[in-house]
Structure 1
Amino acid sequence: MGKRKRKHQKTSFPWMVEEENLFIAKTGNEIVTDAGWEKISFEEARKLFSPETFQEWYELFLENTDISEILSESNVDIDLDDESAIDNFLQRSNWTPKQVNLVVAKAIYKNHAWVRALLISTPDVEEPYFQNYEMEAIRLGVQLRKYIKEDIPVINDCKNAVRHLHGRYALIGWQPRNCVTAAHNLKISQATKVYNELLWDEDWVDECDSLISESRQSARK
């Protein structure tokens, strides 16, 4: 008897999704998401992250900051080539910026306006990865969809972010920038819920993780 040929399932990669399949037509009944920046005080930003995360950011921030501006602002005269003196100054003064740019993910549906703090901005480092923050905005929209228990689309204006998550979550799609204006303009002060780092880690369970958990529970019965 001849051997039966195994059927190979076609693998779908994110970059293979046709552009027209990313688009979901506007209905007025969708969760709109966006990622962006908001300028807030240093102390407010500090409350949104764990001490470990904050220290990592602060060290990275100093590496990407013009030390001469800090010295000028502090009215301190130190030779810029004297790294030891500069390190001593930073340690003794506990210098911090007055304001920082916070990278945020945002999701809106009717009277629900959610914001999640992603990280404090260090533009030289983060710019190439902004697509990842749009993906986090989509995940925030997925979390909001679970909360309201509505089978509705989650929309974002970044095609690559939508393409990357297209096979992972149901009903996510792309619409142009003007369709996500409400999320784009949302400020932290207007949010009905703000996720800091700890709260998000406690609340977020990936849909795939949920399915795995349910299947394990069924297997035990």
Structure 2
Amino acid sequence: MISVYGYSPSGNCHKLRMMLGHLDRDHRWIETDSAHGATRTPEYLAKNPNGRVPMLETDDGRILVESNAILCWLAEGTPYFGGDAWQRAQTLSWLFFEQYSHEPYIAVARFICGWAPPDSPRRAELPTLRERGHQAFGVMETHLAAHAWFSGDHYSIADIALFGYTHCADDGGFALGAYPHVLAWLDRIRAQPGFVSMPALAAENAERIALSRTG
């Protein structure tokens, strides 16, 4: 049995929910509201000094953090992280792309729209975040024009990692209509056995996102 500390609206946390669903693996999900300080308590920081979610804990007390590292560990020995050394390196390259060229823009724009106060000065960051997020979607669209998945011929943790914030990009003001191959890929993922949907946002966050679209 493993325990996963996660904040359900987080794309980084939802990746793990998806992986666990695909594997049908028993686990304890410990809801950890990072938006309201739950990762800054002395108890949490003693386990994860970086104070973030997700965090995985084994029954013997081992701790693993960083969503894509956890994905790799969960998927080890399964088709979701399979192939030879070259194929696995291709998978890792997309995991690094997701964390360096995708998540910093798409996830942050979503956070500002849904969690920052309406008068937050951070809203001035949105045009730049959206420009760079669309650059990432352009890279994905180019790849998916020639490939069904992001790692060889099969669905993998590379797809799960990129799904995490792509599927809810609209929350951050990203319209995906210009990326038909990305939209078709999202549908392919939703059709996978064991797929788990992200829970609905709290009313407060959904309202802020709606105001961002109209304001």
- Higher RCO, 1 or 2 (CA under 8 Å, sep at least 6)? 1
Q: Which one has the bigger helix percentage?
A: 2
Q: Which has the larger radius of gyration?
A: 1
After TM superposition, is the score higher than 0.5?
no
Give TM-score scaled by structure 1 length: 0.26
